Amino acid sequence: MNEKAVIAMSGGVDSSVAASLMLSQGYDCIGITLKLFSGGSRCCSLEDVNDARDVAYRLGMPHYVLNFIEDFKEDVIERFIKIYEEGGTPNPCIDCNRSIKFEKLLHRAKELEYGNIVTGHYARIEKDIASGRYLLKKAIDEKKDQSYVLYCLTQDQLEHTIFPLGAMTKTEVREIALQKDFINAKKHDSQDICFVPDGNYGGFMEQYTGRHYPEGDIIDLNGKVIGRHKGIVRYTIGQRRGLGVACNEPVYVARKDIRSNTVTMGPDASLYSKSLDAHGINLIACAAIEKPLRVKVKTRYLQKEQWAWAEQSAPDTIHVEFEEGQRAVTPGQAMVMYDGDIVVGGGTISS
């Protein structure tokens, strides 16, 4: 076999094992670590680069670092800030996958005449013989499944992407890393947004932009002022902690109004809705949704899919009606549709 593959090596155990598996299958591989952010980030650190390089050296594979800092700034960080400033809650991991890992990296791989890119994501890709379309499917290890953050992949990207870990469990992956004596075999998985490792999104945005997000009123469902918020970008729908409001019952962020700079609090019951609209759609299993389609839908990464009817109301818009009310459906997050373990497609929640 003379097939070639670029391995996206983050310095973590998953991409390291993915590299080992591809080499064992006879692929001609090079490892590439993406430099995406500098300053206070858990990803792209010197430690991560060194870990990736160490594994590549152990595997006898060339390793390079590519600087995508400006692309990441424009396509991920600035979009992250824009969505928060518009009242939404962004998902920068999806934007990074869409714009950086599976667009710019694939483009670079093709320039190098390496026909495939390989990542350590937990998902599967199969070609449907009947339709000729490439399908994105859930990973075998449902606890690690990452198909939700990969719904944005196009047919061309799916054709040239390989996920070697899709049929494996995390336990099996760590066992391989230990057997290979990889330096990162016991390295913990990253959990937070890579460029905001302390979780203080508001503080990061103020420091990054130089803008101050002013305090404003916290109101109840009747419009009565019950407190003050510390800047509207610091709150998201469904949030309960850190509200600084004393009430007789638990309250949550129910709405945000950028124009009036108000945050509305309400009881848990006020968080439920039975429909949503999503834009920026990407369909994988089909070219278009010709008629209302019964699917299961996720509106958050860790949410269990919920039954719903999806209708393509415009070329770039999908309307979803849930069979039961869903809690804290949040603009800016992704809506992803499933047919069993197949990803039908998805989009960004707009309302």
Catalytic residue positions, numbered: 96, 194
Measure the CA–CA gap between 73 and 79, rounded to whole angstroms. 9
> Cα(first)–Cα(last) distance of the chain, in Å?
49
* 3-state SS, residue 327: strand
Please tell me whether 112 is known to bind a ligand.
no
Please tell me whether 11 is known to bind a ligand.
yes
* 3-state SS, residue 273: strand
Specify burial of residue 198 (Cβ count, 10 A radius: 0-12, 13-18, 19+): exposed
The 10 Å Cβ neighbour count of residue 226 is: 16
Measure the CA–CA gap between 341 and 121, rounded to whole angstroms. 16
Please tell me whether 273 is known to bind a ligand.
no
Measure the CA–CA gap between 84 and 80, rounded to whole angstroms. 6
What are the residues facing 192 on neighbouring strands? none
Longest dimension (CA), the chain: 70
Q: Strand order of the sheet with strand 63-67? A: 63-67, 28-35, 4-8, 116-118, 161-162
Please tell me whether 242 is known to bind a ligand.
no
Please tell me whether 105 is known to bind a ligand.
no
Which residues contact residue 349 at a Cβ distance below 8 angstroms, ignoring those fewer than 6 apart?
A: 276, 277, 278, 299, 329, 330, 331, 332, 333, 334, 335
As given in the structure block, the two tokens for residue 35 are 């430099």
What are the residues facing 295 on neighbouring strands? 308
Asked if 279 and 316 count as a contact pair (C-beta separation under 8 A), the reply is yes
Measure the CA–CA gap between 123 and 147, rounded to whole angstroms. 6
Please tell me whether 12 is known to bind a ligand.
yes
Please tell me whether 60 is known to bind a ligand.
no
Please tell me whether 13 is known to bind a ligand.
yes
What is the bridge-based pairing of β-strands 28-35 and 134-138? unpaired
Annotated binding site: 8-15, 34, 120
In the annotated binding site for ATP, the residues are: 8-15, 34, 120
